[in-house]
């Protein structure tokens, strides 16, 4: 085993690091400090993942706050964030490591020029850590400057091809990676791992079994209102209520792509820009493109349908707070 780098002591000017939360309430507080509004079930899954040193697998529709959890964890715990954005065709050389060929070539040339002829020695030299380009998954096995393991965010795993998942298995179960020329590199202590998937395809059971699984659902109206308060504090209370009720109603419709929390936040910011403190049919129609990203969905909602939802929403809200 070849643990990379040595754990350095924290210098005088590095920020205070948070220790890991002791209980579920502490996780709730940690997320709240990072302006993340979580329900107890998510905080519990996160607490267990942190305590038992297992990756957390977050699955859910786009825009429900999965990626944000990884970012908030890194920020709130004061750990380095290492993010691997997945895409089709992602391979080991972009995700784990790559040899620095040009530097190796230079080294060989220098060896030749200085009359070095021992091939074995040259080979040993050029396949050493100095010539290794560490990509995110390998970087995540090293502690940061303060000696603490980082947060590794493997984002949108469903975008990769299945063979890539096989590479992840060793990493996620043993927090180690094997480089044939060097050996096995193991993290001195496991990184905090968050894996997300938008579920455009099923992720293999073998990966899921190594993780704690949590389905991130759309928030209910109360929590979405809470999120707006935190993320768009400038919005008028009444407007926020209308927005949330409208979006919640849209999510009951048969649409190709339902609006996520990201869209609710965007819409609120857009309406503030338009100086709105109250929703009206014209404004809804002209801003539907902030909420819905498919022309068919917009066509379905525009006009009388949007007006009908808005009427419903307003009468519902009037009943709650006459
Ligand atoms: N529970 C939440 N609390 C605070 N902000 C949230 C929450 N859920 C979603 N958001 C916000 O919604 C946006 C989209 O979240 P993101 O994590 O990118 O979604 P996903 O990764 O699920 O597609 C971000 O701006 C995030 O801050
Ligand atoms: Mg995301």
Q: Which two tokens stand for residue 161?
A: 């091809």
Residues 85, 91, 96, 101: is their CA dihedral positive or negative? negative
Q: Where are the beta strands (DSSP E) in the chain?
A: 56-59, 81-85, 97-99, 132-134, 151-155, 176-179, 183-186, 192-197, 212-215
Ligand 1: which of 65, 155, 231, 257 to mutate, judged by most atoms within 8 Å of the beta carbon? 65
Whole-number Å distance, alpha carbon 4 to ligand 1 midpoint, is: 34
Ligand 2 ion local residues (Cβ < 5 A): 67
CATH classification of 24-92+135-215 is 3.40.50.300, yes or no? Answer: yes
**Looking at residue 124, what is its pLDDT?**
84
Q: Which two tokens stand for residue 50?
A: 């942190």
How far is ligand 2, taken at its centre, from the CA of residue 200, in Å?
A: 13
Local confidence pLDDT in tens for the 322 residues of the chain: 444 443 333 344 444 456 899 999 999 999 999 999 999 999 999 999 999 999 999 999 999 999 999 999 999 999 999 999 999 999 999 999 999 999 999 999 998 899 888 888 888 889 999 999 999 999 999 988 888 999 999 999 999 998 899 889 889 989 999 999 999 999 999 999 999 999 999 999 999 999 999 999 999 999 999 999 999 999 999 999 999 999 999 999 999 999 999 999 999 999 999 999 999 999 999 999 999 999 999 999 998 999 999 999 999 999 887 6
Helix (H) or strand (E) holding 40: helix 40-51
Q: Which two tokens stand for residue 127?
A: 């396949």
Q: Where are the domains of the chain?
A: 24-92+135-215, 97-134, 221-320
Angle, helices 221-231 vs 237-250, to 10°: value is 130
The minimum-distance atom of ligand 1 relative to the CA of 264 is 12
> How many angstroms is it from 62 CA to the middle of ligand 2?
6
Ligand sitting nearest the alpha carbon of 59: 1
SS3 call for 1 = coil
Tokens describing residue 44: 């519990």
Atom of ligand 1 nearest to the CA of 69: 17
Give yes or no for residue 153 CB within 6 A of ligand 1: no
Q: What is the pLDDT of residue 322?
A: 63
Nearest ligand 1 atom to the CA of 38 is 1
Rounded distance between C-alpha atoms, residue 238 and residue 103, angstroms:
62
Pocket probe for ligand 1: among 60, 72, 214, 261, the residue whose CB has the most ligand atoms within 8 Å is: 261
Residue 91: HSE in the Cβ half-sphere, 13 Å Cα cutoff: 3
């Amino acid at each position: 085993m070849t643990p990379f780098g040595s754990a350095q002591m924290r210098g005088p000017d590095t920020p205070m690091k948070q220790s890991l939360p002791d209980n579920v309430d502490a996780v709730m507080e940690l997320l709240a400090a990072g302006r993340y509004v979580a329900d107890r079930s998510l905080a519990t899954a996160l607490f267990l993942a942190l305590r038992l040193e297992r990756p957390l697998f977050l699955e859910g529709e786009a825009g429900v706050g999965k990626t944000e959890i990884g970012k908030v964890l890194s920020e709130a715990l004061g750990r380095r964030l290492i993010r691997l954005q997945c895409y089709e065709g992602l391979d080991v050389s972009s995700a784990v490591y790559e040899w620095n060929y040009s530097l190796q070539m230079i080294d060989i040339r220098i060896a030749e020029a200085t009359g070095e002829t021992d091939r074995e020695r040259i080979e040993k030299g050029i396949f050493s850590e100095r010539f290794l380009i560490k990509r995110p998954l390998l970087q995540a096995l090293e502690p940061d400057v303060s000696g603490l393991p980082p947060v590794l965010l493997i984002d949108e795993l469903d975008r990769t091809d299945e063979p890539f998942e096989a590479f992840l298995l060793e990493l996620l179960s043993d927090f180690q990676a094997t480089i044939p020329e060097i050996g096995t590199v193991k993290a001195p202590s496991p990184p905090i791992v968050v894996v997300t998937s938008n579920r455009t395809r099923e992720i293999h059971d073998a990966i899921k079994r190594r993780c704690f699984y949590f389905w991130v659902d759309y928030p209910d109206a109360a929590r979405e209102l809470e999120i707006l308060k935190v993320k768009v504090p400038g919005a008028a209370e009444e407007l926020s209520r209308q927005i949330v009720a409208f979006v919640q109603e849209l999510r009951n419709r048969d649409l190709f792509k339902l609006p996520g929390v990201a869209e609710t936040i965007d819409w609120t910011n857009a309406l503030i820009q338009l100086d709105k403190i109250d929703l009206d049919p014209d404004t809804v129609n002209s801003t539907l493109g902030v909420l819905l990203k498919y022309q068919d969905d917009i066509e379905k909602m525009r006009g009388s349908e949007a007006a009908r939802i808005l009427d419903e929403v307003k009468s519902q809200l009037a009943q709650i707070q006459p």
